[in-house]
Amino acid sequence: MNTLSDVPVSDFTLPELPTELWIQIFSYLSYGDIQQVKLVDKHWCQLTNVSHIKRKIKLIITAHNVESICEIVERRKQSFDNLQYEDVQIHRIEISSEYLLRIFTYLGPYVHHLKLDSCETLSLLNDLLPELNELIFAKTLSEEIDINSTSLDLGKFPKLKSIDMSCIFVDNSIKRLLLLNLMKSRCEHLELLSLEVNRQQEELILNTLEMYANTLRNLVISIRAELDIMKWQEMFKKFTQLEVLKIVGSVGEDWLGVLFKNIPKETLLRAVALNHSLEFNDAQLEFIAQKWCHSLEFLDLMGCSKLTDLGITRLSLIKHKLRDLNLSRCRISANGLLQGLAEKTNKTLRNLNLSHIRGLIDEYVCTLTQRFPNLNTLSLENCEGAITNDSMSYIFCYNIRLQEFFMDLTKLEIKFCLRVLTKNFERLPKYFPALEELSFPGWKNLTDDDIPNIVKGLPRLRKLNVNDCTGLTLRTLDYALKHSSTLRELNMGFLDLELDEKEPSKQNIFLRLEISKLGNQPFYSLE
């Protein structure tokens, strides 16, 4: 049956983009837009079912809405098969246990992810969450807990795979209770464990890790104190299934060395994250690259300040596997990166973060763009010397995957690029023909004469933000009105205006118009 018989036939076809690019695009959409995407075709519907998109759908239960949610749940209890309340958050704040029990009696079988701030709440739901696979503890209130009498039993969640109790604001008594419960009631399918380690609970944590060492695939350790090297040395020998390892916090150089030396080589690590590990050095990076040269795909070395270009050159050992690399805030130049990963064209790397690297110049960015043609993301935040006309042109001209992405991009924001001239703005329609929202805050070089080149070639442009572009005057408004019939929102700020200037004409076409003077005081505003 054709339910769209009255809809005119169109020759429009969907662009053939890689699956990961479609997923990236969908991740920016609102809940309502995602529901519309599902109606386009079967393939798009399947793409919206990836976990990080599905988790945009959240149900947050608080003291203010718990009664209303209870009424809705009981009224619509027959329609849960068509709902996706997978990600549920409970903010306790004196929530009635009666309401929670009534809600989860119906909702429980549909909950996969639960975030809460109380062990008492979780105890109430022991028998009501048969599909729960991820449990996160956020900021918790201090609780007086009798460990011997609590009814909490993690073993009653048969599909539980992930527990995160690493938040620094989770009370230590709750962490202790959870660790003891993990040892008492084994979670057979536990694969991810995120922990905060301090000296008071180090022994208990080691015992827990030993119990689950043969099932854990993902381990996150937030370190708050100096640890016993010998005890951890024996522990890491037992991790046989580990794929993802993240260490947060600064630990001794010796501890890191022992860690990587004792993880079995047969353990095929795919991802290593060492955020702000100040002692991590070139020799240790080379050791990791050699040991897991056949498996390592993701490397996050943000803030590892002891790394040098010499160490980065050793990434050549994994250049055919590495897909994601974060070198943000490292004290390196692009020389090491070029020698390590990009002596020749590298089609493997997909995501590269070089933000906050001092001394990174546009010449290197141009070369990197040519050598990494398949990048999905390139972060150059706060790399002022790297963003110029030449480097921007190279990014647009040489990166094939980004070119495909740009063609369907609807929102573009480029902030405070002080060294980029505006003479090439007429090329915007060529690279971004589908733009609906465009934001250029802080572009000091932007002038009124650039506005026609920006807006006249973008037939879908609805929103333009040129806030803090001090080279603009009210002529920008006239040009925008003259050259764009679709523009509905214009934001201009920090203009050097006289208060007696006339109000803008033809303002009735705007749904929102905001113009402000120096000092950010409104000069003209229309909703």
Q: Tally helices (H) and strands (E) across the chain.
A: 20, 19
Q: Which amino acid is at 527?
A: E
Please, how many CA atoms are within 13 Å of residue 365, restricted to the half-sphere of its CB? 27
Instruction: Give the model's pLDDT for residue 78.
Output: 60
CA distances from 285 to 36, 167, 348, 350, 363 (A): 46, 28, 20, 20, 27
Pairing of strands 271-273, 298-300: parallel
Q: Which residue has the tokens 């692009």?
A: 334
Gap between the Cα atoms of 526 and 230, Å rounded = 67
- Tell which residue, 279, 405, 356, has the closest CA to residue 16: 405
Instruction: Give the model's pLDDT for residue 247.
Output: 93
Instruction: Give the model's pLDDT for residue 495.
Output: 53
Contact 481, 456 (CB under 8 A): no
For residue 202, what is the DSSP state? H
Cβ neighbours of residue 56 closer than 8 Å, sequence gap 6 or more: 27, 30, 31, 34
- Six token digits for residue 124: 């109430």
The fold of the 409-527 domain, in CATH, is 3.80.10
Looking at the DSSP bridge assignments, the partners of residue 300 are 273, 326
Instruction: Give the model's pLDDT for residue 414.
Output: 75
Length of the chain: 527
Contact 365, 386 (CB under 8 A): yes
- Tell which residue, 395, 281, 273, 370, has the closest CA to residue 332: 281
3-state secondary structure 336-383: HHHHHHCCCCCCCCCEEECCCCCCCCHHHHHHHHHHCCCCCEEECCCC
Gap between the Cα atoms of 7 and 502, Å rounded = 47
Instruction: Give the model's pLDDT for residue 272.
Output: 97
**Dihedral angle over CA of 192, 27, 117, 173, nearest 10:** 30
Instruction: Give the model's pLDDT for residue 508.
Output: 39
- Tell which residue, 266, 254, 308, has the closest CA to residue 285: 308
DSSP three-state, residue 505:
coil
The one-digit pLDDT tens for each residue of the chain (527 residues) are 344 444 454 555 556 677 777 887 887 787 778 878 888 878 888 888 777 676 667 788 888 888 888 888 888 766 555 455 667 888 865 667 888 899 999 888 888 899 988 888 888 888 899 999 999 988 765 555 555 556 788 989 999 999 999 988 788 888 888 999 999 888 999 999 999 998 888 999 999 999 999 999 999 999 888 888 888 988 999 999 999 999 988 777 788 889 999 999 899 999 999 988 888 999 999 999 999 999 999 999 999 999 999 999 999 999 999 999 999 999 888 889 999 999 999 999 999 999 888 878 888 888 888 898 888 888 888 777 777 777 777 777 776 666 777 777 788 877 766 666 666 666 778 888 888 888 888 777 788 888 888 888 888 888 888 888 888 888 888 888 888 888 888 888 655 444 334 444 444 355 556 655 444 444 334 44
Instruction: Give the model's pLDDT for residue 502.
Output: 43
What's the pTM value of the predicted model, to 2 decimals?
A: 0.75
